[in-house]
Amino acid sequence: MNTTSRTEENYLKAIFQLCERSEEPIATNAIAHAMKTSAASVTDMIKKLSKKELVHYQKHKGVRLTDSGNSMATSLVRKHRLWETFLVNKLNFSWEEVHEIAEELEHIPSKKLIDRLDDFLGNPKFDPHGDPIPDSAGNFTFRKQISLPELAEGAEGVLVGVQDDTMTFLQYLNKLNLTLGTKIKIVERFDYDESTKIVINGKQEQILTNKVCLNLFVKTI
Amino acid sequence: MNTTSRTEENYLKAIFQLCERSEEPIATNAIAHAMKTSAASVTDMIKKLSKKELVHYQKHKGVRLTDSGNSMATSLVRKHRLWETFLVNKLNFSWEEVHEIAEELEHIPSKKLIDRLDDFLGNPKFDPHGDPIPDSAGNFTFRKQISLPELAEGAEGVLVGVQDDTMTFLQYLNKLNLTLGTKIKIVERFDYDESTKIVINGKQEQILTNKVCLNLFVKTI
DNA sequence: AAATATTTTTAGATTAGTCTAAAAATACTT
DNA sequence: AAGTATTTTTAGACTAATCTAAAAATATTT
Ligand SMILES: [Mn+2]
Ligand SMILES: [Mn+2]
Ligand SMILES: [Mn+2]
Ligand SMILES: [Mn+2]
């Protein structure tokens, strides 16, 4: 049986995302935290994934995805992001609503379905949160982007992505009128509280905390 | 926890479809056959559904859906048929490919999703196999239709539905150029082998076996 | 109305995924 | 280097869904 369960898929995707943020082997606890489950459950699952050669694993040393695990996770990310794009672009959902639904849709198995969906959407390269959508072969489009604190005082950028895509953060951005494509100019930085004054689309002035700035990616213009 | 598992949902839908074809309580074996599982498993599940008040059940007397079971099943049918319509109308799948994929998609839980999808598709009343799609309140559109054997010799009808929607039957219909919307005229019936000669869209002559005719629904014109 | 056949239920196992608590391994402090 | 804290693994138990085999109930035939 070379089949992969929904649960195994969710673990693979979580491990993939942890791998993106570190070169080190991923700790059991880190996975447990990401999956909101116990370390014991993670150990059980890791053993299973290891037996299926989807992760490299040595006791007490953490895990990395194998090539086959990586390509499976990439396919899940592709599905997740294409469905998110569908929900926003075709069904008029807003960007903070789609993650949860895509979390389910990503497990629909048909490759033909996802390739057709990709075409139907016009082969988008980025999802509603600005994250890259791997193509049918698993290749990601790389984009030169910097986080807002890296943008020089006086310089301008276009908001192209967010680091954090939790509901609460995205809803907060909605309130601030910060959507993807928005033009942001750095007016002034205040050392006192590490806040930043920006101008949105050339008109609206706004003060952002450093926490918010760290979660915004812009393309310079 | 008033949650319904994917498995429970599949049972509810199967029972719903058996109920459509008979007023009698549905036998354990009938469900087992529909679900391709053992009678023992069905008994277990029936007890569970009964405890949740989704079916009426008495030992050895078979089951019927309760109102709440019925509305749950109707919602599943709605989702199934809307997704099938999406796959055919928007992603260019053909009618024999979509059942299997919709079998998965129907379990995606968001009501908002399905209502948006319904609007996106233009609130279709029938799915790619001619089956009615219940609206958001669970109401089916009724259509006056007859099976091909009921259509008089010399009379004409438009193909609006199929009884059997297995892959093999639908592929066979493809070969015969019989798609929904096709005009069918009964030319002659042969008692010898119960076959029927028809004309398709006013040009192509064709002999159909009774087995095929019984699975075709037409609207008279 | 018995005898036989069929259907349905129960009993007991199995597998996937989860949990808590305890044991073992590793890392950090003093 | 020893002691303490943290992380990870193991042990054992639980639930949902499944199975086979046997028992019980119902239906059919003689
Ligand atoms: Mn998921
Ligand atoms: Mn996203
Ligand atoms: Mn299903
Ligand atoms: Mn259908």
pLDDT digits (tens, 9 = 90+) for A173-184: 999 999 999 999
Q: Decide yes or no: CATH 2.30.30.90 for domain A145-220.
A: yes
CA of A106 to the centre of ligand 1 (A): 6
Sheet holding B156-162, edge to edge: B146-147, B216-220, B156-162, B183-190, B195-200, B204-208
Chain B residue with Cα closest to A92: B116
pLDDT tops 80 at residue B1: no
Look over chain A and give the mean of its residue pLDDT values, rounded to a whole number: 97
Residue at shortest CA–C1' distance from C25? A60
- Give the pLDDT confidence score for residue A42 in this predicted structure: 98
Q: What confidence tier does A2 reach under pLDDT thresholds 50, 70, 90?
A: confident
| Strand B216-220 with A55-57, pairing | unpaired
pLDDT tops 80 at residue B80: yes
10 Å Cβ neighbour count for A175? 7
Between positions 45 and 64 of B, the ones with CB within 8 A of A are none
Q: What confidence tier does A1 reach under pLDDT thresholds 50, 70, 90?
A: low
Q: How far is the CA of B59 from the C1' of D25 (A)?
A: 9
Q: With contact defined as beta carbons under 8 Å apart, do B29 and B39 qualify?
A: yes
Q: With contact defined as beta carbons under 8 Å apart, do A181 and A218 qualify?
A: no
Going by C-alpha positions, the residue among A87, A53, A88, A65 that lies closest to residue A16 is A65
Query: What residues contact A188, with CB distance under 8 A and at least 6 apart?
Result: A153, A196, A197
Q: What confidence tier does B2 reach under pLDDT thresholds 50, 70, 90?
A: confident
- Provide the CA A218 distance to its chain's centre, in angstroms: 15
Report which secondary-structure segment, H or E, holds B219. strand B216-220
Q: pLDDT exceeding 70 applies to what percent of chain B?
A: 100
Answer yes or no: is A44 CB < 7 A from strand C: yes
Measured between CA atoms, how close is B108 to chain A, in angstroms?
Answer: 6
pLDDT tops 80 at residue A149: yes
Chain B residue with Cα closest to A108: B104
Q: What confidence tier does A221 reach under pLDDT thresholds 50, 70, 90?
A: confident
Residue type, A91: L
Q: Do domains A6-65 and A145-220 have the same CATH topology?
A: no
Nearest beta carbon to residue B117 from set A91, A108, A110: A91
pLDDT tops 80 at residue A13: yes
Tell me the domain boundaries of chain A: 6-65, 145-220
Q: What confidence tier does B146 reach under pLDDT thresholds 50, 70, 90?
A: very high
- Give the pLDDT confidence score for residue A217 in this predicted structure: 98
Answer yes or no: is B27 CB < 7 A from strand C: yes
Measured between CA atoms, how close is A138 to chain B, in angstroms?
Answer: 21
Place of tokens 């299997």: B100
Query: What residues contact B157, with CB distance under 8 A and at least 6 apart?
Result: B146, B148, B151, B183, B184, B218, B219, B220, B221
Give, as ranges, the nucleotides of chain C with any atom within 7 Å of a protein CB. 7-12, 16-22, 25-26
Average pLDDT (A47-73) is 97
Q: What confidence tier does B70 reach under pLDDT thresholds 50, 70, 90?
A: very high
Q: How far is the CA of A32 from the C1' of D13 (A)?
A: 21
pLDDT tens by residue, B151-187? 999 999 999 999 999 999 999 999 999 999 999 999 9
Contacts of B112 in chain A (CB under 8 A): 93, 97
Average pLDDT (A146-165) is 96
- Give the pLDDT confidence score for residue A183 in this predicted structure: 97
pLDDT tens by residue, B12-67? 999 999 999 999 999 999 999 999 999 999 999 999 999 999 999 999 999 999 99
Long-range contacts of A110-114 (CB under 8 A, 24+ apart): A110/B101, A112/B93, A112/B97, A113/B87, A113/B91, A113/B101, A114/A78, A114/A79, A114/A82
- Provide the CA A42 distance to its chain's centre, in angstroms: 22
Contacts of A105 in chain B (CB under 8 A): 105, 108
pTM score: 0.94
**CB-based contacts with strand D under 7 Å?**
A 27-30, 39-40, 42-44, 46-47, 57, 59-60, 62; B 5-8, 37-38, 40-41, 44-45, 48, 59-60
Measured between CA atoms, how close is B100 to chain A, in angstroms?
Answer: 10
User: What are the DSSP E strand ranges found in A10-69?
Assistant: 55-57, 63-65
B108 — contact with chain A (CB < 8 Å)?
yes
Residue B217 pairs in a beta bridge with: B147, B161
Q: In a 10 Å sphere around its CB, with 0-12 CB exposed, 13-18 middle and 19+ buried, how is residue A203 labelled?
A: exposed
Topology at the third CATH level for domain A6-65 = Arc Repressor Mutant, subunit A (1.10.10)
- Give the pLDDT confidence score for residue B126 in this predicted structure: 98
| Strand A156-162 with A216-220, pairing | antiparallel
Among B3, B101, B106, B121, pick the best mutation site for testing chain A contact (most A Cβ within 10 A): B101
